[in-house]
Amino acid sequence: MNNLVTDEALSWIGKSDPPVEIEVNRSDIIKYSVSTEQVLTKYLKGDEAPPMFIAGLSREIVPLQDLGVDGLPPASLLPDLPLKRVMAGGVRFEFHKKVKPKEVLVFEKKLSDITEKQGKTGPLIFITYLITCKTQAGEMVLEQFQTRILR
Protein backbone atom coordinates (compact mmCIF):
# COMPACT_ATOMS: atom_id res chain seq x y z
CA MET A 1 0.00 0.00 0.00
CA ASN A 2 1.18 3.55 -0.68
CA ASN A 3 0.36 4.93 2.80
CA LEU A 4 -1.38 7.98 1.33
CA VAL A 5 -3.52 8.39 4.45
CA THR A 6 -1.39 10.16 7.05
CA ASP A 7 -1.84 10.13 10.81
CA GLU A 8 -3.00 13.75 10.48
CA ALA A 9 -5.76 12.68 8.07
CA LEU A 10 -6.73 9.77 10.33
CA SER A 11 -7.05 12.20 13.25
CA TRP A 12 -10.12 13.61 11.46
CA ILE A 13 -12.07 10.40 12.15
CA GLY A 14 -14.78 11.25 14.67
CA LYS A 15 -14.90 14.97 13.80
CA SER A 16 -18.37 16.40 13.22
CA ASP A 17 -19.95 19.44 11.64
CA PRO A 18 -22.05 21.54 14.01
CA PRO A 19 -25.60 20.17 14.38
CA VAL A 20 -28.24 21.70 12.10
CA GLU A 21 -31.86 22.10 13.29
CA ILE A 22 -34.66 22.22 10.73
CA GLU A 23 -38.40 22.49 11.28
CA VAL A 24 -40.37 20.31 8.90
CA ASN A 25 -42.91 22.34 6.97
CA ARG A 26 -46.19 20.88 5.62
CA SER A 27 -45.90 22.97 2.46
CA ASP A 28 -42.41 21.60 1.76
CA ILE A 29 -43.68 18.03 2.22
CA ILE A 30 -46.48 18.69 -0.27
CA LYS A 31 -44.13 20.28 -2.83
CA TYR A 32 -41.67 17.39 -2.49
CA SER A 33 -44.48 14.83 -2.78
CA VAL A 34 -45.92 16.41 -5.91
CA SER A 35 -42.53 16.85 -7.57
CA THR A 36 -41.56 13.22 -6.88
CA GLU A 37 -44.95 11.93 -8.07
CA GLN A 38 -46.00 10.39 -4.75
CA VAL A 39 -49.42 8.69 -4.89
CA LEU A 40 -50.28 8.21 -1.22
CA THR A 41 -52.71 10.79 0.16
CA LYS A 42 -50.81 11.14 3.46
CA TYR A 43 -47.83 12.48 1.49
CA LEU A 44 -49.81 14.66 -0.94
CA LYS A 45 -51.66 16.34 1.96
CA GLY A 46 -48.43 16.82 3.87
CA ASP A 47 -49.54 14.74 6.86
CA GLU A 48 -46.35 12.68 6.66
CA ALA A 49 -43.10 13.08 4.72
CA PRO A 50 -42.05 10.41 2.21
CA PRO A 51 -38.93 8.63 3.48
CA MET A 52 -36.46 10.25 1.05
CA PHE A 53 -37.76 13.75 1.92
CA ILE A 54 -35.34 14.00 4.83
CA ALA A 55 -32.31 12.68 2.93
CA GLY A 56 -31.51 16.11 1.49
CA LEU A 57 -33.34 18.29 3.99
CA SER A 58 -30.19 19.44 5.77
CA ARG A 59 -28.32 20.32 2.58
CA GLU A 60 -27.15 23.89 2.58
CA ILE A 61 -28.43 26.15 -0.20
CA VAL A 62 -25.33 27.53 -1.89
CA PRO A 63 -25.10 30.28 -4.53
CA LEU A 64 -24.17 28.96 -7.96
CA GLN A 65 -20.85 30.81 -7.99
CA ASP A 66 -19.81 28.99 -4.80
CA LEU A 67 -20.27 25.51 -6.30
CA GLY A 68 -17.24 23.53 -7.42
CA VAL A 69 -16.66 22.36 -10.99
CA ASP A 70 -18.44 19.13 -10.02
CA GLY A 71 -21.58 21.11 -9.09
CA LEU A 72 -21.19 20.40 -5.37
CA PRO A 73 -20.73 22.86 -2.50
CA PRO A 74 -17.32 22.99 -0.81
CA ALA A 75 -16.73 19.81 1.18
CA SER A 76 -16.68 19.92 4.93
CA LEU A 77 -14.93 17.29 7.00
CA LEU A 78 -12.39 16.54 4.29
CA PRO A 79 -8.77 16.36 5.44
CA ASP A 80 -5.95 17.28 3.07
CA LEU A 81 -5.25 14.14 1.07
CA PRO A 82 -3.00 13.61 -1.97
CA LEU A 83 -5.80 12.26 -4.17
CA LYS A 84 -8.13 15.07 -5.27
CA ARG A 85 -10.75 13.62 -7.63
CA VAL A 86 -13.86 12.93 -5.53
CA MET A 87 -16.46 10.42 -6.69
CA ALA A 88 -19.65 9.13 -5.11
CA GLY A 89 -19.06 5.77 -3.49
CA GLY A 90 -22.60 4.97 -2.41
CA VAL A 91 -25.21 5.80 0.18
CA ARG A 92 -27.13 3.54 2.55
CA PHE A 93 -30.16 4.68 4.53
CA GLU A 94 -31.67 3.28 7.72
CA PHE A 95 -35.07 4.83 8.44
CA HIS A 96 -36.25 4.64 12.05
CA LYS A 97 -39.25 6.95 12.37
CA LYS A 98 -41.86 8.66 10.19
CA VAL A 99 -41.55 12.42 9.85
CA LYS A 100 -44.53 14.69 10.49
CA PRO A 101 -44.98 18.42 9.83
CA LYS A 102 -43.90 20.85 12.57
CA GLU A 103 -41.29 18.41 13.92
CA VAL A 104 -37.88 19.94 14.54
CA LEU A 105 -35.13 17.61 13.32
CA VAL A 106 -31.47 17.76 14.31
CA PHE A 107 -28.90 16.66 11.73
CA GLU A 108 -25.27 15.85 12.46
CA LYS A 109 -22.57 14.78 10.01
CA LYS A 110 -19.54 12.89 11.31
CA LEU A 111 -16.48 11.58 9.47
CA SER A 112 -16.54 7.94 10.53
CA ASP A 113 -13.74 6.25 8.55
CA ILE A 114 -10.87 6.76 6.11
CA THR A 115 -9.28 3.78 4.39
CA GLU A 116 -6.87 3.30 1.52
CA LYS A 117 -7.28 0.52 -1.05
CA GLN A 118 -5.54 -0.44 -4.24
CA GLY A 119 -7.78 -0.31 -7.32
CA LYS A 120 -7.13 -1.66 -10.81
CA THR A 121 -5.88 1.73 -12.00
CA GLY A 122 -4.13 2.86 -8.83
CA PRO A 123 -4.69 3.82 -5.21
CA LEU A 124 -8.07 4.88 -3.85
CA ILE A 125 -9.05 6.52 -0.59
CA PHE A 126 -12.50 5.78 0.84
CA ILE A 127 -14.04 8.34 3.20
CA THR A 128 -17.19 7.35 5.07
CA TYR A 129 -19.57 9.78 6.74
CA LEU A 130 -22.43 9.07 9.12
CA ILE A 131 -25.24 11.58 8.91
CA THR A 132 -27.78 11.20 11.70
CA CYS A 133 -31.18 12.83 11.96
CA LYS A 134 -32.94 12.87 15.34
CA THR A 135 -35.91 14.62 16.85
CA GLN A 136 -35.19 17.38 19.37
CA ALA A 137 -35.99 14.79 22.06
CA GLY A 138 -33.18 12.57 20.69
CA GLU A 139 -35.32 9.94 18.96
CA MET A 140 -33.48 8.52 15.92
CA VAL A 141 -35.20 9.30 12.60
CA LEU A 142 -32.53 8.43 10.01
CA GLU A 143 -28.98 7.14 9.76
CA GLN A 144 -27.34 7.82 6.42
CA PHE A 145 -24.00 6.20 5.58
CA GLN A 146 -22.28 8.07 2.77
CA THR A 147 -19.05 7.04 1.05
CA ARG A 148 -16.79 9.22 -1.08
CA ILE A 149 -13.93 7.82 -3.13
CA LEU A 150 -10.84 9.84 -3.90
CA ARG A 151 -8.60 8.86 -6.80
- Per-position pLDDT tens, the chain of length 151: 568 999 999 999 999 999 999 999 999 999 999 999 999 999 999 999 999 999 888 888 888 888 877 777 777 899 999 998 888 899 999 999 999 999 999 999 999 999 999 989 899 999 999 999 999 999 999 999 999 999 9
CATH number for the 7-150 domain, one of 3.90.25.10, 3.20.20.80, 3.10.129.10, 3.40.50.300?
A: 3.10.129.10
Q: Which of 39, 46, 41 lies closest to 25, judged by CA?
A: 46
Beta pairing class for 104-119 and 86-95: unpaired
Please tell me the predicted confidence (pLDDT) of residue 59.
80
In angstroms, the CA 137 to CA 125 distance is 36
Cα–Cα distance list, 76 to 13, 80, 81, 104, 109 (Å): 13, 11, 13, 23, 9
List all residues 6 or more positions away from 122 whose beta carbon is below 8 Å from its beta carbon: 151
Q: What are phi and psi of 53, to 5 degrees?
A: -55, -40
Domain boundaries, the chain: 7-150
